[in-house]
């Protein structure tokens, strides 16, 4: 089968001149997807739902009566043989590793062993102004090099001038500003950086795509290609979400050595696909003290088992499949979301008891991410928070928009302004401030 893939891709390597290993074809996104399906012995997948065109054969569902979940969620506090987990030690020593293993094998893929640490260099240092204060801002590149391949982690770090051991917020985003705003007037109102700096904290803006391109046709590039010498992925190899989260850990390594900030009080924030990656970072990186997970939806905080908004089948389609491990494609045929050994609540449970803010736009303007499906996942993760001595969600009933649930560890809020993290930033920063005070 491998040989056939190789022949099929030869045309592609000639066309792209990409960096695959000698004799290995560079696959387009379509080819990488098809090759993975062949590896898995799958003929075809069910199509994703169409969120754009209500007249489509398979339109997205927004009818709560048909949303489910229609199967039981896997219990994070039960061992596979049904034995309940009643104490923190069994959670940490037995149950949590089982859940991590299920995510690695079935959903996110495994981080390769022995990746080299980045060598950081300062590209530029300047004084800028945010939140009415002078900020020392550095643009850094973290070079990861192996087998003649290299990746440069792109990072911007700023802290108030003279800061020492300041809390820091790491955003998965765009060090040069969001590309869709380039050349346009920035939105009215303060940037989250103004608010962070006004509090005396630092910020880091990390570009996930510098670690792994957001492109199914570039799975042989980036850190994934660096780790496996440009070969097509195996079914348990990591996808882009896991790679993007790995980058957050490398940023944290760097911040640990920066006297201006206190890496023990570092929060991570991300929106939409970067919200998914920020949630993975919280789950896999125990050093992160708090997380703001905005409009993360399917593959993030939303239950896969919900038949509302984006679906497993969308993630498993060509255009998004590179976010996931190859094995995940099986859940879009022959398996279904109901066969997953874990769900989004299990991912949130991996974060417990650390503070997590799940934010989103409300259904009317951000329906694709399924606000209620994210709330349900947080509610189902709450028993793990409680077992570990932290409060879970303060309620079982879905709150109306603009309601911040109470608590210091797991909270939820919907705003009414669409697919954007902006309106929830002030609420998150207040939540993080409490977390940082406890950690000081």
Identified binder of ligand GCU from the candidate list 137, 298, 343, 363, rule CB under 6 A: 298
Closer CB to ligand GCU, 228 or 272, in the complex: 272
Tokens describing residue 163 = 């800061």
CB of 273 to ligand GCU, least distance (A): 3
Closer CB to ligand GCU, 314 or 405, in the complex: 314
Contact yes or no for 271/330 (Cβ under 8 A) = no
Here's the x/- map for ligand GCU, 301-340, by CB under 6 A: it reads as ---------x---x--------------------------
Terminal CA-CA length for the chain: 56
Closer CB to ligand GCU, 230 or 300, in the complex: 300
Region of 116 on the Ramachandran plot (φ > 0 left; ψ -120 to 50 alpha; else beta): beta
CB of 67 to ligand GCU, least distance (A): 17
Residue 122 β-bridge partners: 140
| CA distance linking residue 101 with residue 83, whole number of Å | 18
Per-residue DSSP letter, 111: P
Q: Is 315 helix (H, G, I), strand (E, B) or coil?
A: helix
Contact yes or no for 416/401 (Cβ under 8 A) = yes
CB of 12 to ligand GCU, least distance (A): 25
Tokens describing residue 15 = 């066309």
CB of 298 to ligand GCU, least distance (A): 5
373 binds ligand GCU (CB under 6 A): no
CB of 304 to ligand GCU, least distance (A): 12
Closer CB to ligand GCU, 314 or 327, in the complex: 314
CB of 417 to ligand GCU, least distance (A): 15
Of 347, 236, 211, 342, the residue nearest 282 (C-alpha): 347
Each as own residue / partner, the long-range contacts of residues 8-14 (CB below 8 Å, 24 or more positions apart, any chain) are 8/34, 8/35, 9/35
Closer CB to ligand GCU, 331 or 368, in the complex: 368
Closer CB to ligand GCU, 90 or 209, in the complex: 209
Tokens describing residue 234 = 């195996």
CB of 357 to ligand GCU, least distance (A): 17
CB of 314 to ligand GCU, least distance (A): 6
CB of 83 to ligand GCU, least distance (A): 35
CB of 394 to ligand GCU, least distance (A): 27
Closer CB to ligand GCU, 246 or 368, in the complex: 368
Closer CB to ligand GCU, 220 or 296, in the complex: 296
| CA distance linking residue 374 with residue 69, whole number of Å | 12
Closer CB to ligand GCU, 201 or 425, in the complex: 425
**Phi/psi of residue 17, nearest 5 degrees:** 60, 30
Of 260, 255, 316, the residue nearest 285 (C-alpha): 255
Residue 110 β-bridge partners: 237
Closer CB to ligand GCU, 272 or 414, in the complex: 272
Region of 297 on the Ramachandran plot (φ > 0 left; ψ -120 to 50 alpha; else beta): left
Question: Strand 166-172 and strand 202-207: pairing?
Answer: parallel
Q: How far is CA 194 from CA 159, 419, 433, in A?
A: 11, 21, 15
297 binds ligand GCU (CB under 6 A): yes
Question: How many Cα atoms occupy the beta-carbon half-sphere of 156 within 13 Å?
Answer: 17
- Residues contacting ligand GCU: total by CB under 6 A: 7
Contact yes or no for 306/370 (Cβ under 8 A) = yes
CB of 33 to ligand GCU, least distance (A): 16
Helix axes 344-351 and 371-387, enclosed angle (nearest 10): 40
221 binds ligand GCU (CB under 6 A): no
Question: Which residues inside 263-282 make contact with ligand GCU, applying CB under 6 A?
Answer: 272-273
Closer CB to ligand GCU, 153 or 317, in the complex: 317
Name residue, tokens 């103004």.
Answer: 194
Instruction: List residues near ligand GCU by CB under 6 A.
Output: 272-273, 297-298, 310, 314, 368
């Amino acid at each position: 089968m491998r040989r056939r893939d190789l022949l099929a891709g030869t045309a592609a390597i000639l066309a792209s001149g990409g960096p695959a290993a000698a004799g290995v074809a560079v696959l387009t996104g379509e080819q990488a997807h098809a090759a993975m399906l062949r590896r898995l012995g799958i003929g075809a997948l069910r199509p994703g739902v169409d969120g754009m065109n209500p007249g489509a054969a398979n339109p997205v569902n927004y009818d709560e009566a048909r949303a489910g979940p229609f199967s039981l969620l896997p219990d994070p506090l039960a061992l596979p043989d049904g034995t309940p987990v009643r104490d923190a030690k069994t959670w940490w020593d037995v149950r949590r590793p089982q859940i991590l293993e299920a995510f690695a094998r079935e959903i996110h893929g495994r981080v390769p062993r022995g990746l080299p640490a980045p060598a950081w260099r300062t590209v530029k240092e300047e004084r800028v102004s945010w939140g009415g204060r002078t900020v020392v801002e550095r643009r850094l590149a973290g070079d990861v090099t192996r087998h003649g391949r290299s990746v440069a982690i792109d990072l911007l770090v700023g802290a108030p001038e003279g800061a020492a051991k300041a809390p820091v917020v790491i955003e998965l985003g765009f060090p040069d500003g969001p590309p869709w705003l380039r050349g346009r007037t920035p939105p009215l109102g303060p940037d989250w950086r103004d608010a962070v700096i006004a509090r005396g904290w630092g910020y880091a803006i990390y570009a996930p795509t510098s670690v792994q391109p957001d492109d199914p046709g570039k799975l042989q590039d980036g850190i994934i290609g660096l780790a496996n010498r440009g070969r097509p992925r195996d079914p348990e190899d990591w996808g882009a979400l896991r790679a993007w989260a790995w980058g957050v850990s490398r940023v944290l390594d760097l911040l640990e050595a920066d006297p201006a900030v206190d890496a023990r009080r570092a929060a991570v924030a991300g929106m939409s696909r970067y919200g998914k990656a920020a949630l993975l970072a919280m789950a896999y990186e125990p050093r992160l003290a708090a997380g703001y997970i905005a409009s993360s939806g399917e593959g993030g905080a939303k239950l896969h088992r919900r038949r509302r908004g984006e679906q497993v089948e969308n993630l498993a389609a060509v255009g998004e499949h590179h976010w996931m491990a190859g094995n995940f494609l099986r859940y879009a045929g022959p398996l279904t979301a109901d066969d997953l050994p874990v769900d989004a609540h299990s991912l949130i449970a991996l974060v417990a008891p650390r503070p997590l803010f799940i934010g989103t736009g409300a259904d009317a303007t951000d329906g694709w991410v399924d606000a209620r499906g994210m709330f349900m996942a947080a509610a189902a993760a709450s028993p793990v928070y409680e077992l570990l001595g932290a409060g879970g969600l303060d309620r079982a009933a879905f709150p109306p928009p603009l309601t911040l649930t109470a608590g210091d560890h797991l909270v939820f809020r919907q705003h009414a302004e669409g697919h954007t993290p902006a309106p929830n930033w002030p609420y998150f920063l207040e939540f993080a401030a409490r977390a940082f005070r406890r950690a000081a």
